[in-house]
Structure 1
Amino acid sequence: MGESGLAIKKTYRVKRSKDFDQIFSAKHSFANKRFVVYKLKADQPHFRVGLSVSKKLGHAVMRNRIKRLLRHAIADFSPYLADEDFVIIARRGVETLNFEEIKKNLKHVLKLSKIYVDGEND
C-alpha cells in the first residue's frame, strides 16, 4: 500500500455510517490527550480507518487540514498497522499541533490500542 506514502486507497477507508456504527458498538476504545481510537476485529487482509473531526475544532479548512495530516501519518504507519477496522476521533487541541506532534500522539494512541505493532519499544 505505501507506494507514494501520501494516499490511503479507498479500500483502506471506513466510509459508510453502518461501518462506523459497528466499530463504535464494539466499545473497544483507547484514548490519549489528543485522540480517541475505537477498534473492531475484522476479517480482511488489511486495515481500514475512519476519521472524525468535530466542527468544534474549527472551520472546514482547519478540519480538512487535520484529516489530511492524519491520513498522511497513517500512510507512513501502514506497514505496522494490524488488520483491523478502526476510527480515529480528533480531540480539541489537535488543531494547534504540527505534523510531527500529530504523528507522535497518533502513534502513542495506536500503540495503546495494539493497532500499531512493530519491534520498537518507544
Structure 2
Amino acid sequence: MKKSYRIKKESDFQRVFETHNSVANHKFVIYQMQKPNQPHFRVGISVGKKVGNAVQRGWVKRRIRQTLLEVKPELKQDVDFLVIARKSAADLSMKEIKKNLVHALTLAHLFEEK
C-alpha cells in the first residue's frame, strides 16, 4: 500500500481518534472520520505493546496492511480510519486476521454500497 494511503502524523491520528466514531469486534477496533473531497482513503494502524514484542507487532501490522490491500477496491474513498489491534490478534493466522478485520470494517460501514 502506498504511503499516501497511510496516516502517519500524530495530529492526524488524534483528529480521527477524537471523533469518537468507533466500532469493535474481539480482535480489532476501528475509528473513522469522514473526509469529503479526499481522493482516496487513509488508514492508520496501531498495534500496542500488549500484543507482543516488536516482531509480533510487525507481523500483525503486515497482515493488516495485506488485508487492506486485498479489499482496497471495495473500501469507501472519502474516509480516514484507524485500525487498532487488540492483544488477541497476535494469535491469529492470516486467514483469521482477514476474516476478523473484514468483519470490523463491515461493522464500520467502510465498504462501498453495492
Which band: TM-score by shorter chain? over 0.9
Structure 2 residue 25 is matched with structure 1 residue 32 = yes
Residues 70-119 of structure 1 show CA distances to partners (whole Å, capped at 9, x for unaligned) of 00000001001112100000011111100010000000010010112354
CA distance in 2, matches of 1:118, 1:98: 28
Q: CA RMSD in A?
A: 0.9
CA distance in 2, matches of 1:107, 1:89: 13
Q: Which residue of 2 aligns with 1:4?
A: none
Structure 2 residue corresponding to 1:15, chosen from 8, 29, 39: 8
Amino acid at match of 1:65: W
Identity %: 44
- SS of 2:87's partner is coil
Q: Which residue of 2 aligns with 1:94?
A: 89
Q: Which residue of 2 aligns with 1:82?
A: 76
User: Normalising by structure 1, what TM-score?
Assistant: 0.89
Residues 36-87 of structure 1 show CA distances to partners (whole Å, capped at 9, x for unaligned) of 0000001311110000001011110000000000000000010011121000
Q: Which residue of 2 aligns with 1:109?
A: 104
Unaligned runs of 5+ in 1: 1-7
